[in-house]
Amino acid sequence: MLRQKLTNSILRAAIIELAREGYAGLTMEGVTRRAGVGKAALYRRWSGKEDMIIEILLESKLVIIEAPNTGSLEGDVKQYLSEAAKMLRRPLSKKILPDLYSEMTRDTRLGHTIREQVQKPKNKCVIQIVEQAISRKEMAGDANYMLAYDLLAGPLYWHMLINQETADIEFVNRLVRVITTALKVC
């Protein structure tokens, strides 16, 4: 009968610690200090930090983007990139995601969870966009899905996560135009 309000407070503190210290630098004691709770409250809920962060990933919609279906490739691309940019503008996401992508390369339960919960849904979304474009004859039938995925996701992530740049509407619109052009010859 753990108190839900306390659970939420702890998870909020954990997210902030994750953003500040990174996953490897995250400690259970750091979370207790930030949340102002006792250690027992944490260990009654999770066996350790991996458990805790996995719960955050499973519950968070931070990284999920709905597959668009606007009727045109350019519309779909615009909606996808706009949603992605909106998510990547959040200061916590901007700090946390480079770290998660780094953890994703490791053979741990957390790495596996990130691949399944963060990356796979993103890929599904892109597949749908491409399939719709092919059925509308906006893309060739033998289009390379992986290449399309890299074109759609790569530039914005590079821009916002690696270079930690901003992306206003004007920039996203330019990106949409250019990437749509590229997808059509994909």
Q: Are the CB atoms for 108 and 31 separated by under 8 Å?
A: no
Instruction: Name the minimum Å distance from CB 57 to DNA.
Output: 18
From the list 8, 24, 48, 124, which residue makes contact with DNA (rule: CB under 7 A)?
48
Between 27 and 166, CB nearer to DNA: 27
In DSSP notation, 123-185 reads HHHHHHHHHHHHHTTSS-TT--HHHHHHHHHHHHHIIIIIS-----HHHHHHHHHHHHHHHHT
Is residue 43 near DNA by the rule CB under 7 A? yes
Taking each helix axis as running N to C, give the angle between helix 91-104 and helix 73-89, from 0 to 180 degrees, rounded to the nearest 10: 100
> What sign does the CA torsion over 3, 93, 97, 77 have?
positive
> Which of DNA, a second copy, none interacts with 101 (beta carbon under 5 to 8 A by kind)?
a second copy
Q: Are the CB atoms for 73 and 184 separated by under 8 Å?
A: yes
Is residue 27 near DNA by the rule CB under 7 A? yes
From the list 49, 78, 122, 159, which residue makes contact with DNA (rule: CB under 7 A)?
49
Between 6 and 143, CB nearer to DNA: 6
Quote the CA–CA distance of 36 and 27 in Å, as a whole number: 14
Q: Are the CB atoms for 17 and 34 separated by under 8 Å?
A: yes
Name the one range near DNA by CB under 7 A: 11-19, 23-31, 138-146, 175-183. Answer: 23-31
Is residue 16 near DNA by the rule CB under 7 A? no
From the list 16, 19, 41, 54, which residue makes contact with DNA (rule: CB under 7 A)?
41
Is residue 3 near DNA by the rule CB under 7 A? yes
Q: Are the CB atoms for 82 and 5 separated by under 8 Å?
A: no
Instruction: Name the minimum Å distance from CB 95 to DNA.
Output: 18
Between 27 and 105, CB nearer to DNA: 27
Between 44 and 174, CB nearer to a second copy: 174
What does the binding site for DNA look like in residue numbers (CB under 7 A)?
1-3, 5-7, 27-30, 35-41, 43-44, 47-49
